[in-house]
Amino acid sequence: MSGTSLDGIDAVLVAFSDTASHLIQSVYHPYPEELRQQLLALHTPSDNELHTCAVVSSDLARRYASAVNELLFKCSISAKAVTAIGVHGQTIRHQPDAGYTIQLNNPSLLTELTGITSIADFRSRDIAAGGQGAPLVPAFHAAMFQHPERHRVIVNIGGISNLTNLPLSGNTIGFDCGPGNLLMDAWCLKHAGHPYDKNGDWAKSGVVISELLQKLLSHSFFQQLPPKSAGRENFNLPWLMQFLSGNERPEDVQATLLELTVKSIAEAISKHCSGAEEIYLCGGGARNGTLLSSMQKTLSIQHVAPTDELGVDADWLEAFAFAWLARQTSLGLAGNLPAVTGAKHPCILGAIYPV
């Protein structure tokens, strides 16, 4: 998995049986800053971008292969013992209303370098069926965390945040809530020189600018009804800059961005997850102590905790989900939830690149 934060690659080895799944090993390979900048630049049109995309796709595949090979080495497992690699690729454009989403990737090269079947391009089939192509993790959340007596909500706080509502009866729903870490990361890099605000300590040193927060919360995405999905197209530094006078203290802006993430998630929960009893957080944002305590204060729900409490490490959950989605595909089972993405029907997701 390589997500919208553009921080790097999360790779996991997962064993599945018909009744259980088990995360055996994990590896994280951060991106060098140069690649991060290259990927960021590819989010907007530029000269010769087709060539650059192709070259970067192969670079990514080599990095995915190196993560996979390290996993195998760590576990002393041969490539032959692995059924498939579920590889998300790196999203650089997400425009479901225009009928497409683009994840840079070269699954043929990944198969060649690892000797393992790759399964890729998980989102396009859902878009072809009229869906948003995202979020896809709610089906996995439902399979893993649905409880017969506890109404749970799973909140993923990556670059973008998304939630899955798991009521006791009725449909699982899910949608993107808005920015997770990507605005905080961008602001932190620009003004504090760090790629992210560890534990939210810098944000904690600032004061929320209420007027700015209200302006940010007036983004039309927050008013839209699900199904909905977001990307860097919707939330980015130029969008933030138009609301700033230039006189704000950087730490106050950081505090406000953290609160934007908290408030947008809290509002999504109160509008769409009525009756929720337990909130579980995953993604890198679950490791932000300031965000976690603000979430606990803002929500009227007492139980807010990382998914580690449910037995799945919050840092690896999304990579785990793509292993699960690849398994669905290899078994010929649907991976999308039409009630989440808005697709006309369940679909077998992805394309298979056999050994």
Ligand X SMILES: Nc1ncnc2c1ncn2[C@@H]1O[C@H](COP(=O)(O)OP(=O)(O)OP(=O)(O)O)[C@@H](O)[C@H]1O
Q: Name the site residues for ligand AH0 (rule: CB under 6 A).
A: 3-4, 91, 94, 101, 134-137, 158-160, 162, 176, 229, 231, 318
Residue number, 163 or 279, with CB nearest to ligand AH0: 163
Q: Are 251 and 219 in contact (CB under 8 A)?
A: no
Per the CB < 8 A criterion, the answer to whether 176 and 162 are in contact is: yes
| Nearest Cα residue to 183 out of 260, 242, 243 | 260
Asked if 195 and 40 touch (Cβ cutoff 8 Å), the reply is: no
Q: What is the C-alpha to C-alpha distance for residues 274 and 292, in angstroms, rounded to an integer?
A: 20
Which of 206, 350 has the CB closer to ligand AH0?
350
> What's the closest the beta carbon of residue 177 comes to ligand AH0, in angstroms?
9
Shorter beta-carbon distance to ligand AH0: residue 4 or 57: 4
Q: Which listed option, ligand AH0, ligand X, none, makes contact with residue 136 (CB within 5 to 8 Å by class)?
A: ligand AH0
Residue 9 annotated in ligand binding: yes
The answer to whether the annotation marks 18 as part of a ligand binding site is: no
The neighbouring-strand residues paired with 153 are 165, 279
* Shortest reach from residue 332's CB to ligand X, in Å: 26
**How large is the greatest C-alpha to C-alpha distance in the chain, in angstroms?**
59
Residues 134-163 that bind ligand X (CB under 6 A): 156, 158-160
Which of 122, 137, 2, 6 minimizes the C-alpha distance to 62? 2
| C-beta separation of 53 from 104 below 8 A | yes
Reference 109, options 169, 51, 185, 55; nearest CA is: 55
Tell me which DSSP letter residue 183 carries: H
Interface residue with ligand X, options 64, 145, 196, 235 (CB under 6 A): 196
Integer Cα distance of 336 and 322 in angstroms: 12
- Residues 89/110, Cβ–Cβ less than 8 Å: no
Whether residue 6 is annotated as binding a ligand: the answer is yes
User: Applying CB under 6 A, which part among 1-9, 121-129, 144-152, 335-343 lies near ligand X?
Assistant: 1-9
Q: Which does 287 bind (CB under 5 to 8 A by kind): ligand AH0, ligand X, none?
A: ligand X
Q: Which amino acid is at 162?
A: N
Nearer to ligand X among residue 158 and residue 350 (C-beta):
158
Size of the site for ligand X (CB under 6 A): 22
Q: Which of 288, 328, 329, 336 binds ligand X (CB under 6 A)?
A: 288
- Smaller CB separation from ligand AH0, 160 or 208: 160
| Beta bridge mates, 26 | 12
Binding site for ligand X (CB under 6 A): 1, 3-5, 7, 156, 158-160, 181, 185, 196-200, 283-285, 287-288, 318
What are the binding residues for ATP? 3-10
What are the binding residues? 3-10
